[in-house]
Amino acid sequence: MKRKIYLSGSLFIICCMMVFAKDIIKGRVIDANQMGIDGVAVVLQTVDSIYIDAVLSDSLGMFSFQVEKGSYRLLLQHLLYEARELDIVDNDIGSIELKEKDYRLEEVVVKGERPQVRVSGGTLLYDMPQLIRNRPVNNAFEAIKELPGISGDDERLELLGAGSLHIVLNGQLTSMSLPQLINLLKNIPASRVKNTEVMYNAPARYNVKGALINVIIEQDNGRGESLQGEAGAEYRQYHFASEFAHANVVYSAPQLSIDLLVNGRKDKGYGGEDMFARHALKDEIVEINQINRSKSKSNNGSLRLGMDYTFKNEDKLSASYYIDGDNFDGTRTSNSLFSYLNNGGEIPVFSTTVIDSRNTLQNAQLQYKGHTGITAGIDFTNYRNPEHQHFVNNSNDSSSVDLLNNSRQNISKWMIFINHTHTFKNEWALNYGINGSYTTSKTKIEYLYYI
């Protein structure tokens, strides 16, 4: 009996120590008028950017975390305020002021209130139709850039407080690279984006490490039969004209959803520079007059066909095919005159470069998601890029260069994965799985010199 009492007392003391070892990190988010800001996504990380937890500030701007003793960092994000990052010096942080973004609205009409972001299991869930309403966004990529904490340019994205960033579409793993996936998002209309999930520490079922953005595309296949679509065209006039066109059609039935997305683009480009330079070469003064001109034309087209079928037991089969092609033809000329001022000599030089490039990307995916938590799939991506460059350089001193460069690249990647999510009664989930990939790459480069 004494031994049982002793063990019970020891366990009680250990539990008390664990409770008292916890720290409470708390603070308040305010605006320039010292008023609390509601709905600020507050992300807690270690100082080396490891995700810990995330909460939303309440109506008074208050938030709190219960953590172990240590050093931490806070990331604060809100749609109407500039994102902020700060290291925690004192657990009672006090007031944190956020700077309001410069949105100039001529008229504001309040129709209702619905949260644009929610926190669930360490995931920030954004209601995209609410977030991008009245915003000048045309495609899914531009819509993602409106998320708080997201920055970048037309070719990349960065998430505040995260190192590497991954993007998936409808939670499906893909063998496409991030730039290729970004190009696909640029071809998806913003109206098709339903929700976006932002995770600083992606669960194992996504088969990636680090931060993740899951873009969920609208797929209404639960209420009757419907057919809807949209089409658009754009014309731009610079030195030459450029035309853009896109169309998408979605068919929805109680168990079946099919979507077709088509984009086309035709461009012509023109550019040039006039350059003048004067150099001292030993005892000689050399003036260089150069006139550069370039012309180009390109045709780009893409097509994506997707299908989702939901069985009666809520199992789901998804398949998609995506192809993107780009043809580019360009010519660049350079007319240079080298003038030697000391002796009055001149050497004219004329060069031209012709580029012919063809890019083709194909991706096919098949995924099965079971109601028991099992997800399995296979993904294939192929990229081809044959390119030809012809460079000619002539001058009146009888020297000339004639170079032909032919290159061809063919890359294929297969990926297969199977994951399982087991949810316990207390809503605690365990993710585990395995994935493998196989890549082949063939590159050929040929140089031809004509003398």
For the chain, the average pLDDT equals: 83
291 in a structural domain: yes
Question: Which CATH number belongs to the domain containing residue 136 in this structure?
Answer: 2.170.130.10
256 located within any domain: no
Same domain (yes/no): 203, 347: no
The C-alpha atoms of residue 193 and residue 233 are separated, in whole angstroms, by 20
Residues 6+ apart with CB under 8 A from 15: none
Indicate if 340 and 404 belong to the same structural domain: yes
Is residue 139 one of the residues assigned to a domain? yes
Task: Evaluate the CA torsion angle 182, 184, 185, 187 in order and state its sign.
Answer: positive
Domain edge (last residue) among 101, 123, 148: 101
pLDDT, one tens digit per residue, over 50-105 is 888 888 888 888 998 888 877 888 888 887 888 888 888 777 788 888 988 765 44
The total domain count for the chain is: 3
Is 206 among the domain residues? yes
* 249 assigned to some structural domain: no
Question: Is 307 in the same domain as 388?
Answer: yes
Out of 53, 79, 101, pick the residue that ends a domain. 101
Give the pLDDT confidence of 204-236 residue by residue, as tens digits. Answer: 777 777 888 888 887 654 556 888 888 888 888
The parent domain of residue 173 ranges over 112-218
Answer whether 353's CB lies under 8 Å from 390's CB. yes
More confident residue, 183 or 333: 333
DSSP, res 210: S
Q: Give residue 377's identity as a one-letter amino acid code.
A: G
Percent of the chain predicted with pLDDT > 90: 25
Q: What is the pLDDT of residues 230-280, one digit of tens each?
A: 888 888 888 888 898 988 888 888 889 888 989 899 999 999 999 999 888
- If asked whether residues 277 and 357 sit together in one domain, one would say yes
What is the mean predicted confidence (pLDDT) over 352-381? 92
- Whether residue 302 lies inside any domain: the answer is yes
| Residue 134 vs residue 405, higher pLDDT | 405
Residues 62 and 177 in one domain: no
In sequence order, the β-bridge partners of residue 156 are none
**pLDDT tens-place string over residues 20-32:** 456 788 889 998 8
CATH number at residue 34: 2.60.40.10
**How much is the pLDDT for 223?**
59
pLDDT at 162 over 90: no
312 and 444 part of one domain: yes
Average pLDDT in the 5-26 region?
54
Burial (CB count <10 Å: 0-12, 13-18, 19+), residue 13: exposed
Could you tell me if 65 and 150 lie in one domain?
Answer: no
317 with 193, same domain: the answer is no
- pLDDT value at residue 356: 94
Select from 186, 218, 250 the last residue of a domain.
Answer: 218
Pairwise CA distance, residues 399 & 393, whole Å: 8
pLDDT of amino acid 220 = 58
Model pLDDT, residue 451: 65
pTM over 0.95: no
**5 or 315, which is more confident:** 315
- Residue 154 vs residue 324, higher pLDDT: 324
Listed residue (220, 222, 137, 177) closest to 379, CA to CA = 177
167 in the same domain as 89: no
Give the lowest-confidence range in 126-140, 259-273, 340-354: 126-140
Residue 279: what residue type? H
Measured torsion, CA atoms of residues 212, 217, 221, 226, in degrees rounded to the nearest 10: 180
284 and 421 co-located in one domain: yes
pLDDT greater than 50 at residue 4:
no
Are both 430 and 327 inside the same structural domain?
A: yes
> Do 72 and 96 sit in the same domain of this protein?
yes
